[in-house]
Amino acid sequence: MFRSLRRALCAGAAALLLPLGVGAHTAHAAAVPGAGHWHTSGRQILDAAGQPVRIAGINWFGFETANHVVHGLWSRDYKSMIDQMKSLGYNTIRLPYSDDIFKPSTVPNSIDFSSGKNADLQGLSSLQVMDKLVAYAGQDGLKVILDRHRPDSGGQSALWYTAAVPESTWIADLKALAARYQGQDTVIGIDLHNEPHDPACWGCGDTATDWRLAAERAGDAVLSVNPDLLIFVEGVQTYGGVSGWWGGNLMGVAQYPVRLDVANRVVYSAHDYATSVAQQPWFSDPAFPANMPGVWDRYWGYIFKQNIAPVWVGEFGTTLASTVDQKWLAALVSYLRPTSTYGGDSFHWTFWSWNPNSGDTGGILKDDWTTVDTVKDGYLASVKAPLFPGTGTGGGGGGGGGGGSTAGCSASYTVSSDWGSGFNAEVKVTNTGTSAISSWKVTWTWSGSQQVTNMWNASYTQSGSTVTAVNASHNGAIAVGGSADFGFGGAPGGGGVPSVTCTAA
């Protein structure tokens, strides 16, 4: 609801089938579900082998804006951000886009290519950049959901079409995406249109406004090109005189389910927000937050609980500035069902958003596009789920030095923020040798009881108070005199800066 407020500021079965754990930070080998193309069975999503999977991910927006590409590339390399998502335990990326990216005249902008950042994106179209993101996410073991967010970059639309972007264009572009990623199981499905709202209806029978009928037309068109995709169908705003969040009202599914030509492909999607987006009557209910499960049951939770179909909360977010919002998020996370108890027999989700520049929610990243909001991220720990089998090694490259040359590196450790119960730190690795290096390892020992809680742009092990961090696949190669950075969160507070050692190869 009131979604014009939020977008870019810068231009019954138990889970006995599934070995899912909480907050996985590395992909487990063959035991991890997720291989191949996915389908639905009752309220669960299953992989090609019939194992339940759980979507536990993040929204990374920008393709739908006038930048025509994900935001933040003006600050960082795209691979480093995907690696950071992986390190935090997110297993899926929802990528919003507008139909503008299909226009030959569209050129992505606001990408920083300095110091080697985003080097392989230079000269590419928006769709070609999307290809790069999908490929790297797949290598990292993440899945991608493509979200038709807007007809054009100018703003959100109530219906799936406008005078400038008719239904025929919407469907043609959906089919083009389906064909583009045919055979690539990193892309698991398409969210047909973001947040239909009044005058959109569900089951009213008017082809001009009945979103359920439009979703059937579009879903069948997508599956005619690529029958392996999941079709994600959001709700509307009002059904039977009862209103809620834009896209968040799925009450009509009980009487009017979405019927597609290919069975077991529909996943229903709801959006739900807190008071930082808009007020709703349930926030002022004296029973709040105990009333919230009943609200969610009514609007969309019943679909899961009655085993009708899987339910994916494609967007939910908050600034967490108010006590009401904090209680709301804690209640919603509990309602989504902890992975450790239910595994893949759970609601699916992608949090809004990765980006810090979402005006009424903020993001998992803070305004520097690097530091993690560990409080916000911490709320999601119980519903995170393991990564999926990757499609290969990550990017990066670079070779070692020639004969007679020496490899060497140094590392500097800086505490960027410390709030007593936790801290964030950055480490800069510099090649001090006489040859290029292809990998590096940094080690330090804390004098206190600190533990790493998450790390990005590197992987780590910790034994007692000693931490060893090893480069990610994309930043191991450093030219002579060059540098690479990684960061991490820890707890409790940072205390003194330890001495660090660096070894290179």
DSSP conformational letter for 66: T
Contact 258, 216 (CB under 8 A): yes
Task: Output the CA–CA distances (angstroms, integers) from residue 289 to 49, 82, 251, 294, 323, in the order listed.
Answer: 39, 34, 21, 10, 11
Check 64, 195, 216, 426 and give the catalytic one.
Answer: 195
Torsion over CA of 183, 187, 189 and 192, rounded to 10 degrees?
-110
Q: Which residues pair with 315 in a beta bridge?
A: 271
Torsion over CA of 200, 202, 204 and 209, rounded to 10 degrees?
30
Cα–Cα nearest to 314, from 346, 350, 344: 350
Residue 220's H or E segment, with its range, is helix 211-225
Measured over the CA atoms of residue 277, residue 280, residue 286 and residue 290, the dihedral's sign is negative
Q: Which residues pair with 429 in a beta bridge?
A: 411, 484
Cα–Cα nearest to 289, from 244, 321, 325: 325
Which residues lie below 8 Å from residue 423, measured CB to CB, with a gap of 6+?
415, 417, 450, 489, 490, 491, 493, 494
For residue 64, indicate whether it is catalytic: no
Contact 145, 350 (CB under 8 A): yes
Check 216, 234, 315, 426 and give the catalytic one.
Answer: 315
Q: Which residues pair with 148 in a beta bridge?
A: 97
For residue 167, indicate whether it is catalytic: no
Residue bearing tokens 């929204």: 59
Chain centroid to Cα 44, Å, comes to 20
Q: How many other β-carbons are positioned within 10 Å of the β-carbon of residue 399?
A: 10
The helix/strand/coil state of 45 is: strand
Measured CA angle at 61 (ends 59, 66), to 5 deg: 170
Measured CA angle at 413 (ends 407, 417), to 5 deg: 155
Q: CA-CA distance, 65 to 61, in Å (whole number)?
A: 8
Query: Catalytic residue positions?
Result: 195, 315
